Amino acid sequence: MIVRCIYNDVKYVPEKQREYAITQDADDGLDITVGKHYIVYATKQTPQGLWYFVHTDRRNPDTLWWMPAALYEVVQKRLPDGWKERTEEDETLIAYPSLHNWEVENDILDGEKAALQAYMTETAADPTSPSLDDLNKYNTEFNKQQREQKYEHNKELARERGYEWPKNPEDKAIN
């Protein structure tokens, strides 16, 4: 499953999930980027709502986090064949079997590299799981839009300061 971020502010998180959504900055921003696509590595339905297990952008990007599904729209909805459902008390987890062990889940959330590596190996072994190549195809357009926006912003700044600016983005590298 691949999702696209549509919100990165805690005000868009349903009230029941807010106390669990980790804010990343003083403005209640979350460490995900609007318009960017993310691979979902598991889903969890709890009394608080639906969650996706995803990477974030900057704060501990080497682990996975449970993020409220309300922050995303699904762009590729096929679930990997290897995912299995586990319902326990008031929670339903759909993931690869190793994540059904709460200790593995907690180790991943705590940043234990061995636990994450084992889960990512399980993910990579399933040919029906989205790959980083799949994700990159979705994010290519996003990256192009980001470069164009940055180019237009820099062009406007140059004009305000009286500088001449190239006529198209190919004339000058955009960093």
Give me the pLDDT at residue 175, please. Answer: 46
Give me the pLDDT at residue 26, please. Answer: 52
Per-residue pLDDT 10s for the chain (175 aa) are 999 999 988 888 888 888 776 655 555 578 899 999 999 999 999 999 999 999 988 877 788 999 999 999 999 999 999 999 999 999 999 999 999 988 999 999 888 999 999 999 999 999 988 887 888 887 777 777 777 777 787 878 777 888 877 666 555 554 4
CA 122 remoteness from chain centre:
19
Residues 6+ apart with CB under 8 A from 94: 42, 43, 44, 79, 83, 84, 85, 86
Domain boundaries, the chain: 2-130, 134-171
Give me the pLDDT at residue 9, please. Answer: 84
Give me the pLDDT at residue 21, please. Answer: 65
CB atoms within 10 A of CB 63: 17
pTM (2 decimals)?
A: 0.78
Which of 41, 47, 39 is closest to 19 using CA atoms? 47
Give me the pLDDT at residue 23, please. Answer: 54
